[in-house]
Structure 1
Amino acid sequence: MASSSSMRPAAGHLLRLVEGRPRLIGSAAPSFLAAAAPFSTSASRCARKTRDNNRIRGVSPLRRTGPREPLSVSWEDIPRPTDYKPQIKTDENHPLWAFFPQKGKLINTPAEDQAHGRPWKVEELRKKSWEDLHALWWACCRERNRISTSNAERARTKLGFGEHEAIERDHVVQRTMKGIKHVLTERYYLWEDAYQLAQEDPEINLTGKGPAYTPRYDAENGGDYLVQEAEAEAKADPSTISSESKVAHEQAPKL
Structure 2
Amino acid sequence: MFSSFLRAPRRCQGIVFKRTLANVLSENTALQVYDPNAAAATNKSTDEPTPTSTTTQKIETSKTHGLYAFFRRKQGEDLVGEDQYDVLGGLYEEDVVNRSGRAWKASELRLKSFTDLHTLWYVLLREQNLLATQAEEVRRAGIAPRMIQLGMGPKKRECRLSMARIKAVMNERRLAYLGAVQLAEEEKEAELDRAVLKHQITQFNRGRKALRTLQEKRVAAERRKERLTRQKDEKIKPKTVSA
- Which protein has the bigger helix share? 2
With normalisation by structure 2, the TM-score equals 0.49
Larger Rg: 1
With normalisation by structure 1, the TM-score equals 0.47
